[in-house]
């Protein structure tokens, strides 16, 4: 039986592990309680006109850190490449790319003196190496998290261990979009809906409009996945499902029984809709297509609704589940538990932590993308 809780103002999600007790407690009472290390899918080559820099930051978002570096170098912020967005209230280590001729080389980048942020915030350059091209958004293989939950009960270690063991089983944890995606006031999806329906015209700031429509796409994906869990189809393939081979391509399900067994073995992942005019669709008349059409209908949207915003939101498929890898748990003291795990790029650690804690974690900054 699914247990429902409200995840702040924008996201209503069930627990996959509703039969397992949570730890309770508080996440992120200190920035050091939320540590993230970003991994790229490739290493800097050591040659080229761009310079990749590995940055550690605290007390600022990724765009704010890029802004500090851009001002120090006297370059445009847009010329700095960022692979993944990271929260303000955390200690995060991630990669940026600096454009040609902005620095003399890696040694110059390492020697940069960057101003401190307000309070205890900072940004520091830890490593630097040359590479032929700019770092693009989404070029993240994984993020490794070390997170502390404070104020827990005495059996928190065993509870966290049980939940993480369940999430580590195929097909993995739900790949929800966390509340960061929906804005500080939780209204980004509603603003995106207004753009898609034409109730509000596209503005001059295409980046902002893209963010709003992306929030709507994310809400619809969450709704699709909630329905999937509610109907007992989380671990089941149905005809027409677009399935992603782990490490490979995508294909349509024609043999649900065989593909369900492959889901259980961890070979495949069901993909869900990030609706858009160019999104790959399930076959007409299949159960998978009917389920996706029903989600659009619930919001009063026609199948062609996203054609009007094709230029800023083409649409894509998103894995419904994520692997939770390299799990480690330790009891720091009688009321504090530390959990560590790795997630693929684009997945939210906070959606894993809500399963562990069974309580909403404190708000985090409304960054435009997943960590």
Active-site residues, by number, are 87
Other Cβ atoms within 10 Å of 193 Cβ, number? 21
CA distance 283 to 302: 17
What burial class does residue 333 get, using C-beta atoms within 10 Å of its C-beta: 0-12 exposed, 13-18 middle, 19+ buried? exposed
CA distance 349 to 324: 10
Locate tokens 């995840």: which residue? 7
CA distance 1 to 17: 10
CA distance 276 to 266: 28
140: its two tokens = 């993240």
Q: CB of 135 within 8 A of CB of 22?
A: no
């Amino acid at each position: 039986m699914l247990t429902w809780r409200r995840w702040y103002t924008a996201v209503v999600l069930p627990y996959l592990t509703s039969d397992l007790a949570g730890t309770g407690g508080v996440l992120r009472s200190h920035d050091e309680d939320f540590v993230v290390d970003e991994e790229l899918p490739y290493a800097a080559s050591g040659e080229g006109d761009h310079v990749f820099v590995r940055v550690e930051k605290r007390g600022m978002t990724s765009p704010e850190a890029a802004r500090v570096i851009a001002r120090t170098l006297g370059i445009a912020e847009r010329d700095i490449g960022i692979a993944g967005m990271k929260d303000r209230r955390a200690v995060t280590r991630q990669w940026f790319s600096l454009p040609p001729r902005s620095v003399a080389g890696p040694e110059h980048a390492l020697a940069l003196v960057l101003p401190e942020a307000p309070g205890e915030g900072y940004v520091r350059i830890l490593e630097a190496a040359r590479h032929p091209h700019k770092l693009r958004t989404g070029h993240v293989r994984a993020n490794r998290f070390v997170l502390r939950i404070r104020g827990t009960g005495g059996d928190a270690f065993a509870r966290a261990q049980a939940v993480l063991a369940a999430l580590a089983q195929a097909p993995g944890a739900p790949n929800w979009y966390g509340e960061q995606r929906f804005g500080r006031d939780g209204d980004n999806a509603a603003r995106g809906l207004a753009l898609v329906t034409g109730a509000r015209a596209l503005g001059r700031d295409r980046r902002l409009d893209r963010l709003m429509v992306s929030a709507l796409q994310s809400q619809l994906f969450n709704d699709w996945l909630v329905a999937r869990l509610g109907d007992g189809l989380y671990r089941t393939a149905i005809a027409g499902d677009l399935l992603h081979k782990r490490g490979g391509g995508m294909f349509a399900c024609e043999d649900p029984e065989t593909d369900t067994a492959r889901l259980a073995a961890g070979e495949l992942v069901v993909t869900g809709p990030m609706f858009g005019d160019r999104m790959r669709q399930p076959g007409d008349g299949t159960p998978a297509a009917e389920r996706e059409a029903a989600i659009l209908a619930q919001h009063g949207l026609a199948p062609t609704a996203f054609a009007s915003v094709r230029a800023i939101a083409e649409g894509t498929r998103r894995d419904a589940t994520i692997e939770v890898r390299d799990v480690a748990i330790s009891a720091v003291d009688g009321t504090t538990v530390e959990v560590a795990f790795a997630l693929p790029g684009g997945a939210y650690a906070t959606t894993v932590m809500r399963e562990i804690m069974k309580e909403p974690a404190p708000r985090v900054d409304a960054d435009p993308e997943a960590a």
